[in-house]
């Protein structure tokens, strides 16, 4: 069995949706679990609906939702003839659920409503895809992943209940529906013990695919993207970016951590733990080799360059000239942990501490405020973190020489440069 994941860009037009059929047919000898994201920018559009609703702008929320609804119905109509009525009925149920919610007044916290609304993108895309493929002769079964993936109620960044989800997924596979050769389901979403929808964090569909691959001990996971392969740098920024044919889990998790938009960082652990190979392939041309990611040690990787924009540097100095010691560190880590803030780069000195973090303005000012009890705090914004793995003198010359660092760190294989 193989697990496939198709992201939003692979289903963002009629043409691209139709392109999925031939890819699935190519693998018709295999049993496939296919995880799909919301179409194109649907998740962003649904976020706007949730925001408007929570701000009390019911009419705006309903209008924005109406647009999403019309778009999806139009796509379904263009894709199908006889299958359209059934598809429309299923879509209507999803729409109604949200419209009911939007007519209420918010009484719970924002993250809860966010998940109830935003989870819809994946339900709509998979519903349309499944009906379309069935009409096109590619027989498949649609499954509501909220019946399979159980999470806690940490809405917007929910944690998986592995035991429960494993039992559900394995049970499904023993049912007639689980025996069909193509199962289609949603990435990114799950449900809590109370059957409320939850989401796993933006771009979380890769993670869902890895969860399925892990639980089903799949032969491999293939993430279908609009690029030929994983590149050593963002080709939109660096014209000399090259494809990397073979990578390992460590390298990918490092790249994702430093900010490369390759694969969701949570994806690697479930695969690594069961030794499941990850392929990154191009849905625009499935004959391209793509990138193979496995456990092996790889020699001779090219320098890998990652830019993480939108950084802040928080400099903290002890007010009474005491050394930055254990208790300062403990308190600071405690603060960051409770605020869900993750340092990207950190350096300690005799009486000062420097931390680079993603700029989340509200959280950063809360951190600065809280830390000002212990330290004198300075915040510098608008910075970029450049990370070079496997750097060479030439890459340093090319990328670093003309920049002025506010903080810099270098280990045997990684150079980080905040500017």
Please identify, among the stretches 94-102, 135-143, 201-209, 266-274, the one whose residues bind ligand ASP according to the rule CB under 6 A. 201-209
- 243, 236 contact by CB (below 8 A): no
- d(CA 352, CA 149) in angstroms, rounded, equals 44
Q: How far is the CB of 201 from ligand ASP (least distance, A)?
A: 8
* Cα angle 204, 206, 209; round to 5: 115
**Residue 83 contacts which entry, ligand ASP, Mg ion, none (Cβ below 5-8 A, type-dependent):** none
Please identify, among the stretches 25-33, 147-155, 197-205, 375-383, the one whose residues bind ligand ASP according to the rule CB under 6 A. 197-205
Q: How far is the CB of 122 from ligand ASP (least distance, A)?
A: 6
* Cα angle 248, 252, 254; round to 5: 120
The smaller minimum CB distance to ligand ASP, of residues 142 and 188, is found at: 188
User: Which residue has tokens 């890819």?
Assistant: 23
- What DSSP letter does each residue of 270-286 carry, written as one string? HHHHHT--EEEEETT-T
For position 259 contacting Mg ion by CB under 5 A, the verdict is no
The smaller minimum CB distance to ligand ASP, of residues 8 and 303, is found at: 8
For position 205 contacting ligand ASP by CB under 6 A, the verdict is yes
Judged on CB neighbours under 10 Å (0-12, 13-18, 19+), 241 is: middle
Please identify, among the stretches 54-62, 203-211, 252-260, 346-354, the one whose residues bind ligand ASP according to the rule CB under 6 A. 203-211
Please identify, among the stretches 126-134, 158-166, 202-210, 401-409, the one whose residues bind ligand ASP according to the rule CB under 6 A. 202-210
**For the chain, what's the residue count?**
419
- d(CA 413, CA 187) in angstroms, rounded, equals 34
The smaller minimum CB distance to ligand ASP, of residues 121 and 303, is found at: 121
Total number of residues binding Mg ion (CB under 5 A)?
Answer: 3
**Residue 204 contacts which entry, ligand ASP, Mg ion, none (Cβ below 5-8 A, type-dependent):** ligand ASP
* Cα angle 263, 265, 268; round to 5: 85
- What DSSP letter does each residue of 107-166 carry, written as one string? -S-HHHHHHHHHTHHHHHHHHHHHHHHHHTT---EE--GGGT-BB-S-TTSPPB-HHHHH
- The closest residue (CB) to ligand ASP is 205
- The closest residue (CB) to Mg ion is 8
Q: Which of 10, 12, 43, 356 binds ligand ASP (CB under 6 A)?
A: 43
For position 190 contacting Mg ion by CB under 5 A, the verdict is no
Q: What is the DSSP letter of 11?
A: G
Phi, psi of 129 (to 5 degrees): -60, -45
Distances (CA, A) of 69 to 46, 102, 119, 243, 415: 11, 14, 14, 38, 47
DSSP three-state, residue 190: strand
Task: Classify strands 246-248 and 414-418 as parallel, antiparallel or unpaired.
Answer: unpaired
For position 121 contacting ligand ASP by CB under 6 A, the verdict is yes
Q: How far is the CB of 196 from ligand ASP (least distance, A)?
A: 18
For position 336 contacting ligand ASP by CB under 6 A, the verdict is no
**Residue 140 contacts which entry, Mg ion, ligand ASP, none (Cβ below 5-8 A, type-dependent):** none
Please identify, among the stretches 37-45, 109-117, 333-341, 359-367, the one whose residues bind Mg ion according to the rule CB under 5 A. 37-45
Residues near ligand ASP (CB under 6 A) are 7-8, 37-38, 43, 121, 187-188, 202-205
Residues near Mg ion (CB under 5 A) are 7-8, 37
């Amino acid at each position: 069995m193989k697990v496939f994941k198709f992201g939003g860009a692979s289903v963002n037009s009629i043409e691209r949706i139709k392109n999925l059929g031939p890819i699935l047919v190519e693998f018709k000898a295999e049993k496939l679990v296919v995880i799909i994201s919301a179409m194109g920018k649907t998740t962003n559009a649904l976020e706007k609906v949730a925001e408007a609703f929570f701000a009390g702008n019911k009419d705006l929320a309903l209008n924005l939702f109406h647009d999403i609804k019309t778009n999806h119905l139009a796509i379904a109509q263009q894709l199908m003839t006889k299958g359209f009525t059934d598809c429309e009925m299923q879509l209507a149920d999803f729409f109604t659920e949200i419209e009911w919610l939007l007519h209420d007044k918010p009484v719970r916290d924002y993250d809860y409503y966010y998940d109830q609304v935003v989870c819809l993108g994946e339900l709509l895309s998979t519903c349309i895809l499944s009906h379309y493929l069935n009409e096109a002769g590619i027989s498949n079964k649609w499954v509501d992943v909220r019946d399979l993936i159980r999470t806690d109620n940490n809405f917007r960044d929910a944690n998986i209940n592995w035991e429960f989800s494993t039992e559900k997924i394995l049970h499904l596979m023993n049912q007639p529906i689980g025996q069909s050769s193509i199962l289609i389901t949603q990435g990114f979403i799950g449900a809590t013990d109370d059957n409320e929808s939850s989401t796993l964090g933006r771009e979380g569909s890769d993670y869902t695919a890895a969860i399925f691959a892990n639980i089903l001990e799949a032969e491999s996971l293939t993430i279908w993207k609009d690029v030929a392969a994983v590149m050593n740098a963002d080709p939109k920024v660096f014209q000399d970016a090259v494809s990397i044919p073979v990578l390992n889990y460590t390298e990918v998790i490092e790249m994702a951590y430093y900010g490369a938009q390759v694969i969701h960082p949570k994806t690697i652990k479930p695969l690594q733990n069961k030794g499941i190979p990850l392929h990154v392939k191009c849905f625009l041309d499935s004959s391209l080799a793509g990138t193979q990611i496995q456990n092996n040690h790889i020699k001779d990787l090219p320098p890998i360059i990652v830019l993480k924009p939108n950084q802040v540097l928080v400099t903290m100095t002890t007010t009474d000239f005491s050394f930055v010691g254990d208790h300062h560190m403990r308190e600071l880590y405690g603060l960051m942990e409770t605020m869900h803030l993750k340092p990207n780069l950190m350096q300690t000195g005799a009486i000062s501490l420097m931390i680079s973090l993603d700029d989340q303005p509200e959280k950063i000012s809360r951190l600065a405020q809280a830390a000002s009890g212990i330290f004198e705090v300075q915040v510098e914004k608008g910075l970029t973190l450049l990370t070079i793995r496997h750097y060479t003198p030439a890459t340093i010359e090319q990328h670093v020489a003309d920049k002025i660092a506010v903080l810099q760190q270098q280990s045997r294989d990684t150079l980080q440069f905040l500017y």
